[in-house]
A and B are shown apart, each in its own frame.
Chain A
Amino acid sequence: MDGVRFINGTLRRIPSALVYLAGVTPAAVYFYWAVMNQLGADPLQALERRLGLWALQLLILTLLVTPVRKWTRINLIKFRRAFGLLTFLYVVLHLLTWLVLDKQFFWSEILADLYKRPYIILGMTGFLLLVPLALTSNNLSIRRLGPKTWNRLHKLSYLVILLGAVHYLLVVKAWPLQPLFYLGGAILLLCVRIRWSFLKTWAGNMIESVRAT
């Protein structure tokens, strides 16, 4: 347990600001490379995909905090808000890249996409669901809503990660492995949150009541 205590002690001394700083750096660097035409024949798609992928990875990281604490006792809870807000930032940058640089305000196409294309609908829904989460990621909101309500609200992130993973799967052709891995990871993260003991009791009760009749 000494190792864990050492890790947690070290983590406590890292200011969150550093996590924010480290979080925005890749976006800045990647945007610079895209502008400088260093990302191959299609810098736009490289940037757009990369921002989306990072958003997905950050959300996975956010949702890993709880299981990691449960299994390893390593406590990252201090950084969870930073992970969550960075997720939102990357989703916004991803969306802006699509709107401004990819679709270039071709409104007829954008509006058609919004109701015709499942991947856009899923992505947009994910973004919209993240807005209230980002807006309430501060101490004041937790106090106002009360921890219970706040917690319930932030369970929306479970839905968002599924939306994000399916959104990714829908932009590729055929069934490449990478998006499938992300979807599998998202499902896994949700599965570890199911309270199996609760399910067992519930199922047991059901069987009991069936027997009793």
Chain B
Amino acid sequence: MRPRFDTELKECDVTPEADFINRRRLMAGAAGLLASGLIGTPLLARSRYSTTAKPNSLKDITTYNNFYEFGTGKSDPARYAGALTIKPWSIKVDGLVDKPGTYGFEDLIAGLPTEERIYRFRCVEAWSMVVPWTGFQLSDLLKKVGVQSGARFVAFETLVRPSEMPGQNRALLDWPYREGLRLDEAMHPLTMIATGLYGKPLPKQNGAPLRLVVPWKYGFKSIKSIVRISLTDRMPQTTWNMQNPREYGFYSNVNPTVDHPRWSQASERPLGGGLFSKRVPTRMFNGYEKEVAGLYKGMNLKKLF
């Protein structure tokens, strides 16, 4: 059940590239850069991976978050994340890499090509948003640290700091929050590390200073406030899978034909349209089927959900 007017055509198929970035976005972007003191940085080009859907408002994206480190309420992260210290920030890179070590945030991302990517975001709770991230491809980062030949998976961990993350005072989840990807998923050009939102540094409630974004998987795969990246030869443990393996699989690809045991995943409610906004059918791989289906050729996605 696809929406009636959905075609595979993208805006770039009909619009000359020069007209891509509309004036309002340019101005907003410029204002954002000015505000964040990044004057002199070249304006971000529109990525070919971006959706043409209209992004949600900055307010929606920054006040409606699942970030259980700050509490289970959707507004808890916006309320409490302000106390999080993100300078200095270091990331431990270890496992099967050529250049292991503990990197400062700036050192780790130095030299990586940054761009804006407007991605659809589908939460496992069956709501969705459209988010203009800025960041770089995870593959570029992995190339920078050098992936060794035995590596098959990438594992990530979020910061543990109960003094600044009140949700961690309770063992609601088995902290640290952990996520993982198969190496080919991690190297896929759609997989990115976001360090910004709407052209400004990433707000803390959205996972500052750096988070994963995997647009064809449920949102919880996109781990926030990363402090550790490990390359391993075995499938890493992932937090929600540990919490309830029957409900959350390692892959957790968006899949309208595999329901959450307690609710349907066949459709979703795009947020931002108010009380009467229309429910729409969920698309396989969140609409990124053409780009990523190849990764899962021959796999039974009903079993390996």
Q: Please report A residues at the B interface, Cβ cutoff 8 Å.
A: 34-35, 37, 40-45, 47, 101-104, 106, 108-109, 112-113, 116-119, 170-177
Contacts and interface: CB of A to CB of B under 8 A. Distances in A.
Contact of B64 (A34, A40, A101, A173): A40
A123 B152 CA distance: 45
B79 to A, nearest CB: 12
Given A37-B275, A40-B64, 14 more contacts: A41-B59, A42-B271, A102-B279, A106-B267, A109-B267, A116-B259, A117-B262, A117-B263, A117-B264, A173-B124, A174-B68, A174-B244, A175-B172, A176-B72
A174 B56 contact: no
A106 B172 CA distance: 34
4 interchain residue pairs of minimum CB distance: A41-B64, A41-B60, A176-B72, A43-B275
Interface in B54-104: 56, 59-61, 63-64, 68, 72, 74-75
Given A109-B266, A176-B72, A176-B172, A41 B63 contact: yes
Contacts of A102: 269, 279
Given A44-B269, A109-B267, A172-B72, A101 B275 contact: yes
A12 to B, nearest CB: 40
Contacts of B124: 173
Nearest to B278: A104
Contacts, number: 73
Contacts of A174: 68, 72, 172-173, 243-244
B204 to A, nearest CB: 17
Given A101-B276, A106-B267, A170 B72 contact: no
7 contacts: A35-B275, A37-B274, A40-B75, A102-B269, A118-B262, A173-B125, A174-B244
Contact of B272 (A41, A47, A113): A41
B64 A42 contact: yes
Contacts of A106: 267, 279
Contact of B127 (A37, A42, A113): A42
A176 B277 CA distance: 28
Contacts of A47: 275
Interface in B170-188: 170, 172-173
Nearest to A110: B264
A172 B172 CA distance: 12
B220 to A, nearest CB: 9
B142 to A, nearest CB: 30
Contacts of B259: 116
A78 B206 CA distance: 50
Contacts of A44: 269, 275, 277
B144 to A, nearest CB: 35
A177 B271 CA distance: 26
A41 B274 CA distance: 8
Best-surrounded residue of A35, A47, A176 (most CB of chain B within 10 A):
A176
A20 to B, nearest CB: 25
B56 to A, nearest CB: 7
